[in-house]
A and B are shown apart, each in its own frame.
Chain A
Amino acid sequence: MEMKEFMENLDGIIDDSLREPPDNIFPDDFTDKLVKKLEKQLAWQELLTEFGLKTGLVLLALIVMGICLIFPAKTDPAPLIQWVAGHRLIVCGSIGVGLFTFVFDQVVLKYMLKRSRQQF
């Protein structure tokens, strides 16, 4: 009888202990920090998607323009390719500077503006 009571009491203590949460307390500012982190990620994601779409559109327009200029007039593209190959430093540099300006203006600056407005 006493053994039964012993086991019941022991189980009671174990049950109470198991229902008790661990000692470590949840950090107070957790939600705020997490929401800010998510807002940052969403802002980057949105700006990069927008940038990707704009770059895609510009490239598509250039390709269409190139096709329209070269094919109907049956122009030989060889001189153009030769010119690009001869001036690859200038061509690559121009593309690089253009891309950098575009990324800086469309992604980095916009992100910094958003950040200062929304304070994340």
Chain B
Amino acid sequence: MDDVALVNALKAGNTNAFRFLVDKYRNLVWHMVLRMTNRREDAEDLCQEVFIRVFKQIDNFRGESKLSTWIGSIAYNACVDHMRKSKKEVLSSADPIVAINLAQSDVSPLLNNIDRITMTKLVHRIIEKMPLQYRTVITLFHLEEFTYREIEEITGMPEGTVKSYLSRGREIIRRKLTELVPDIRPVLFEA
């Protein structure tokens, strides 16, 4: 079923279409919610809320953007609302390098045996500790493969800001990785 047919079926109130929609876009919503809230406990309820919102607001979808972008913007707004309500971190202007404060207990088990897999885990830990806007933009661009323009539609951040968060985010990861793993060369040059 393509997105046009899916949207029409949803507008007709078809719950089978809703099931199809959830199966098709669950990874997008799950990844966004997990990365934005950083809380597994809240993620499931929030994902449910996002899909219910999508179903209730489907009449507002005009097809001017991709369905995935529209769902992404609903997920983004739901997460921001949730974080405001629970008085957790919202968009912060703090220095990201200072903001990333990895506890020794978070990383020390990973540092015992450094290889590519543990490096991936380490990068994920660093992303978790990044300010919200960095985590969001990084997830949308790298994991969900949205374009700059689509990320702008989802988050409302100007394209230039998105690009800047992406390049600064990468720089932060580079600096934190080399700081945490001083002997990083063998991993990088392993066969």
Are B188 and A30 in contact (CB-based, < 8 A)? Answer: no
Are A18 and B30 in contact (CB-based, < 8 A)? Answer: no
Chain B residue with the shortest CB-CB distance to A13? B119
Q: Tell me the chain A residues, 7-43 only, with Cβ under 8 Å from chain B.
A: 9-11, 13-24, 26-27, 30-31, 33-35, 37-39, 41-42
Are B35 and A15 in contact (CB-based, < 8 A)? Answer: no
User: How many interface residues does B have (CB within 8 Å)?
Assistant: 41
User: How many interface residues does A have (CB within 8 Å)?
Assistant: 29
Are B188 and A9 in contact (CB-based, < 8 A)? Answer: yes
- Tell me, in angstroms, the Cα distance from A15 to B19 when the chains sit together: 33
Give chain B's interface secondary structure class. helix
Are B51 and A22 in contact (CB-based, < 8 A)? Answer: no
Give the shortest distance, in Å, between B15 (CB) and chain A (any CB).
6
Are B123 and A18 in contact (CB-based, < 8 A)? Answer: yes
Of the stretches B61-69, B72-80, B91-99, B169-177, the one at the interface is B169-177
Give the shortest distance, in Å, between A36 (CB) and chain B (any CB).
10
Are B124 and A22 in contact (CB-based, < 8 A)? Answer: yes
Are B52 and A13 in contact (CB-based, < 8 A)? Answer: no
Are A6 and B185 in contact (CB-based, < 8 A)? Answer: yes
- Chain B residues with CB under 8 Å of A9's CB are 188-189
- Chain B residues with CB under 8 Å of A42's CB are 13, 15
Given A9-B189, A17-B123, check contact A31 B19 (CB 8 Å): yes
User: A-B contact count, CB below 8 Å?
Assistant: 88
- Tell me, in angstroms, the Cα distance from A39 to B177 when the chains sit together: 47
Are A13 and B170 in contact (CB-based, < 8 A)? Answer: no
- Tell me, in angstroms, the Cα distance from A50 to B121 when the chains sit together: 53
Are A17 and B120 in contact (CB-based, < 8 A)? Answer: yes
Neighbour of B142 across the interface among A6, A18, A23, A35, CB < 8 A:
A18
Are B52 and A6 in contact (CB-based, < 8 A)? Answer: no
Chain B residue with the shortest CB-CB distance to A46? B13
- Chain B residues with CB under 8 Å of A18's CB are 123, 127, 138, 142-143
Are B30 and A26 in contact (CB-based, < 8 A)? Answer: yes
Given A10-B188, A14-B173, A26-B26, check contact A20 B15 (CB 8 Å): no
Give the shortest distance, in Å, between B119 (CB) and chain A (any CB).
5
- Chain B residues with CB under 8 Å of A39's CB are 15
Digitize B162-186: 1 where CB-to-A-CB distance is under 8 Å, 0 elsewhere: 0000000010011001100000110
Are A21 and B143 in contact (CB-based, < 8 A)? Answer: yes
- Chain B residues with CB under 8 Å of A24's CB are 34, 40, 43
Given A31-B26, A38-B52, check contact A21 B44 (CB 8 Å): no
- Tell me, in angstroms, the Cα distance from A39 to B117 when the chains sit together: 42
Digitize B10-39: 1 where CB-to-A-CB distance is under 8 Å, 0 elsewhere: 000101001100110011001100110000
- Would you mind naming 9 contact pairs between A and B with Cβ atoms under 8 Å apart? A10-B174, A10-B178, A13-B120, A18-B142, A18-B143, A30-B44, A34-B51, A35-B19, A42-B13
Chain A interfacial positions (CB closer than 8 Å to B): 5-6, 9-11, 13-24, 26-27, 30-31, 33-35, 37-39, 41-42
